Structure 1
Amino acid sequence: MASGDEEKAKVDLLEDNRIDSGIDSFKSLSKDEHYSKSVQELSPPEDGEVKDKLDSVTEERHDSAYISSSITVDNITDILKTCSIPGSQDTESAETSDHNEQEVNLNLLTTITDDGDTILHLAIIHEAVEFADRLIELFPKEVLDLQNNLYQTALHLATYLDLPAVVRRLLDKGAGLVLQDHDGNTPLHVACEQGRGECGSEMTRDIPPSQLTPVLEAQNWRGVTCLHLATLHKRHRLMKLLIKKGANLNVQEGTSGKTPLHMAVELHDVLAVTMLLNKGANVDAAMFNGCTPLHLAVGRQDATIANLLCQSGADQMIRNMEDETALDLADGNDDILALFPFDDIQISGRSVVGVNF
């Protein structure tokens, strides 16, 4: 008896100390024995391994009444009354098999955790790829696109966890590319931010322009597109991919009006600057404050990038809203001043560039 009380005390202590991560916890999925066996397969061999991978890409969840589509816990069961997981049942009686199959399907579809995760979310979170594949085959598009409390779809999570095979299966089944999470990021945004090159390739492969263009143009809640994110995180492979697929090189982010070229200049990323210029980015694109990439390069005393911009035809006389040219920001840097011929000649207080006498 004492031993039983001790075990109960341990369990109570564990329950009291448990912190809801929003990912690892979920309700009892089913009382049906056929289904509970499949659920047990979701538990990873190393809990710490899953936690470590998710800590870097997930934050504390926030409760929300947001519903991502018309699918709810109440009406999911009406959608798939006849769906089944291939090979999941093996009974002698066809009638019993059909009944058990239907019951398992209903359990699968009506399982949504307090964090809004479906059984498919959980399978992907625990990297149970084979089980996830079977669920993808079972579920219709509407269920695949269900979003949890962080507005993440199964496609968001598969991208976070770098599971390109699952990404491919989801796309083949028609999973949406334009759905945005709580930061406004589409799955392709996630790929660019996290450096998931293979997942990004899957999300742009064999996708018609009519479907891909809205994704490439989509801005998250900070006004940032996928190309902006790839540039910010120096994902050069993904930058090449997005440019090849037709991403707008001169798109302005929503807070200050920076183009990808402005961002590459700020990061002193010579490779990205060269790539963008070679692909036709506007060398004189202006931010909301009137600053061009050359203003930023000179202001950061980056003679190498300033030289690249000048060689690409940057207009050295453009003035920002502070009425400053790039030369005004040189601050005596001889390497940069050398890029501006006749910089000591002024008319009405303004430098004259390229004057012939």
Structure 2
Amino acid sequence: MAKIFFELCDDLRQTVQVNVQDNLGYTPLLLSLRFDWERSKEMVKLLLRKGASPSLAHPKDGLTPLHCICLRANRGGVDLAEIFFKTCDDIEQKVQVDAVNNADETPLRLLLQDRRVDEQLMRLLLRRGASPNFSFSDGSTPLHIICKNNFEDSCEFLDTFLKINKEINQLVHVNVQNNQGKTPLHLALRLNLEFV
């Protein structure tokens, strides 16, 4: 339906404002990613090619399209993220992979906080420039987040995180302290994680 709409507008030489926000602050791209997940892949490509901003955030929560993809990572997020990045590359649009929402979360942090972390999506974000050393307002880094979460597969996940960063020659600061003076090791010890 959207494709037909754009074709009609093109035929009539009518400009479509693809970054316009509705009364709740959603752009068509954000709406598609937040509420119409099943059709998002085609809609994302179409909207981006028609000029939708890949980094425009929702005014109330600060979520960008990439945040929305990471929030739903367990439902095909890596496929959608690959389409999102490829389309942005094709149209030469830069994606802010370390954009921070109003809750002080980057897309990578949202992903790391989820119990069903998608390792492929984490790999993609890191390869696309997400910082493994990003310092949040509480001084914590992605490594703090991993060591703070007592997930069933935390050891495996930490190992994967470190291996990915090694593959891309990205140094991970393992001794950095958060605002409470805690390093990732302190947090892991507190939880009695076996990888310590």
- TM-score relative to the length of structure 2: 0.79
Whole-Å separation in 1 of the counterparts to 2:94 and 2:160: 22
Unmatched 5+ stretches in structure 1: 1-130, 307-357
The residue that corresponds to 2:158 in the other structure is 273
The residue that corresponds to 1:259 in the other structure is 141
The residue that corresponds to 2:168 in the other structure is none
Give runs of aligned pairs for residues 207-356 of structure 1, distance below 5 A.
207-208=88-89, 211-213=93-95, 215-233=96-114, 234-254=117-137, 256-268=138-150, 269-278=154-163, 279=165, 280-302=171-193, 304-306=194-196
Q: Aligned Cα RMSD in Å?
A: 2.1
Deviations 1:304-351 (A, max 9, x none): 221xxxxxxxxxxxxxxxxxxxxxxxxxxxxxxxxxxxxxxxxxxxxx
Unmatched 5+ stretches in structure 2: 166-170
Contact 2:54 2:88 in 1 (8 A): no
The residue that corresponds to 1:132 in the other structure is 2
Deviates more, 1:144-153 or 1:186-195: 144-153
Give the CA deviation at 1:244.
1.1
Deviations 1:192-221 (A, max 9, x none): 01113322212211535x8435x2121000
Deviates more, 1:147-156 or 1:180-189: 147-156
Which of the residues 78, 81, 87 maps onto 1:197?
A: 78
Give runs of aligned pairs for residues 90-239 of structure 1, distance below 5 A.
131-137=1-7, 138=9, 143-160=17-34, 161-162=36-37, 163-181=40-58, 182-195=60-73, 196-205=77-86, 207-208=88-89, 211-213=93-95, 215-233=96-114, 234-239=117-122
Deviations 1:47-94 (A, max 9, x none): xxxxxxxxxxxxxxxxxxxxxxxxxxxxxxxxxxxxxxxxxxxxxxxx
- The SS at the match of 1:283 is coil
Contact 1:145 1:175 in 2 (8 A): yes
Whole-Å separation in 1 of the counterparts to 2:15 and 2:176: 41
- The SS at the match of 1:212 is coil
Whole-Å separation in 1 of the counterparts to 2:135 and 2:15: 33
Give the CA deviation at 1:180.
0.9
Contact 1:265 1:305 in 2 (8 A): no
- The SS at the match of 1:217 is coil
Higher relative CO (Cα under 8 Å, sequence separation at least 6) belongs to 2
Whole-Å separation in 2 of the counterparts to 1:298 and 1:202: 39
Give the CA deviation at 1:275.
2.2
- The SS at the match of 2:17 is helix
Q: Report the AA paired with residue 125 of structure 2.
A: L
Q: Report the AA paired with residue 195 of structure 2.
A: I
Larger Rg: 1
Whole-Å separation in 2 of the counterparts to 1:172 and 1:264: 36
Deviates more, 1:288-297 or 1:199-208: 199-208
Contact 1:264 1:270 in 2 (8 A): no
Change in CA separation of 1:266 and 1:141 when aligned onto 2, cut-off 3 Å: farther
- TM-score relative to the length of structure 1: 0.45
Q: Report the AA paired with residue 305 of structure 1.
A: F
Give the CA deviation at 1:142.
6.1
Change in CA separation of 1:284 and 1:141 when aligned onto 2, cut-off 3 Å: farther
